[in-house]
Amino acid sequence: MSTPLTGQRIADAGLDGWAFLLHYGSGGLETRIRTENFQAGLAIVTAIGSAAAELNHHASLDLRPSRVDVRLSSRDAGGVTELDVRLARRVTELATASGCTLDANVSRIELGLDTPSYGKIASFWTAVLGTEHVVGDDSWGDVGDPNHALPMIYFQRGSGERRWHPDLWVDPAQVQPRIDAALAAGGTLVSDQDAPAWWVLADPDGNAVRLCTWQPGETPLCDSQYRPNA
């Protein structure tokens, strides 16, 4: 089995146009390839598929009329490996040769629910969303879509307060621009005491969101190491 790379190792690889985002308990390299039309995007998808096959690897691709979203991760390792880095470099070459641009301003959202009743409600959310209870213990758990089409919901036992809060995973370079835009839109910075792992922001009504990154990420990542605590 391949060994997952740390966030710092991935950053040191210097993959311009790519972001390392955490999602569904593991990390992935992600980029958005801007294309002129659907046909150009289809050609890129075909080329990426061939490149992945040459490496005996795979890629998660989302084709739209003006873009192709790419996510690279090694399922057997539970994160990003050297093979993903190699494929990312190849994808960059293919996109550049086609006159397309790579955009690292991508993000992933998860929905957190603080609740003292995790054991009672997880099965309800699994049923109503048509998802599965993927991981958990006595204090927290996840409900995830095996097709990765819906945001993951994770539950944490709180002190009695019940509240929803989205966690938005972004590239570290996007944190300050997002904070600046949020403040300009009337929001407030509630806390940065856990930076650079996450920052808490709130809208004018006090509804909170966490901006999360892979940092500090000095060790290989797994769910128990990076899950933010309420």
Polymer length of the chain: 230
Of 103, 129, 162, at which residue does a domain stop? 103
Of 103, 126, 149, at which residue does a domain stop? 103
Residues 70, 59: Cα–Cα separation, whole Å: 7
Helix (H) / strand (E) element for 155: namely strand 152-156
Q: Are residues 184 and 115 in the same domain?
A: yes
CATH number of the domain within which 186 lies: 3.10.180.10
- What range does the domain containing 189 cover? 107-226
Which are the contacts of 12, defined by CB distance < 8 A and separation ≥ 6?
none
Q: Which residue has the higher pLDDT, 97 or 22?
A: 97
Of 65, 80, 103, at which residue does a domain stop? 103
Which are the contacts of 195, defined by CB distance < 8 A and separation ≥ 6?
none
Q: Are residues 129 and 215 in the same domain?
A: yes
Q: Note the Cα 44 to chain centre separation in Å.
A: 22
Q: What is the pTM of this model?
A: 0.84
pLDDT at 224: 36
Q: Residue 112, Cβ neighbours under 10 Å: how many?
A: 22
Mean of the pLDDT values across residues 60-80?
93
pLDDT at 226: 40
Which pLDDT tens digit goes with each residue over 173-200?
999 999 999 999 999 999 999 999 999 9
Q: Are residues 79 and 178 in the same domain?
A: no
Q: Are residues 35 and 111 in the same domain?
A: no
pLDDT at 61: 96
Q: Are residues 192 and 123 in the same domain?
A: yes
Q: Are residues 121 and 216 in the same domain?
A: yes
> What band does 229 get if pLDDT is binned at 50, 70 and 90?
very low
Q: Are residues 95 and 117 in the same domain?
A: no
> What band does 24 get if pLDDT is binned at 50, 70 and 90?
low
Residue 2 domain flag: no
Q: DSSP per residue over 60-86, as a string?
A: EEEEETTEEEEEE-BTTTTB--HHHHH
> What band does 75 get if pLDDT is binned at 50, 70 and 90?
confident
pLDDT at 216: 79
Residue 162 domain flag: yes
51-65, 66-80, 102-116: range with highest mean pLDDT: 51-65
Q: Are residues 87 and 123 in the same domain?
A: no
Which pLDDT tens digit goes with each residue over 101-137?
999 999 999 998 888 777 778 888 889 888 887 766 6
Q: Are residues 64 and 136 in the same domain?
A: no
Predicted confidence (pLDDT) at residue 56 exceeds the cutoff of 60: yes
Count of domains in the chain?
2
Mean of the pLDDT values across residues 80-103?
96
CATH number of the domain within which 55 lies: 3.30.1360.20
Q: Are residues 56 and 131 in the same domain?
A: no
Tell me the residue type at 182.
A
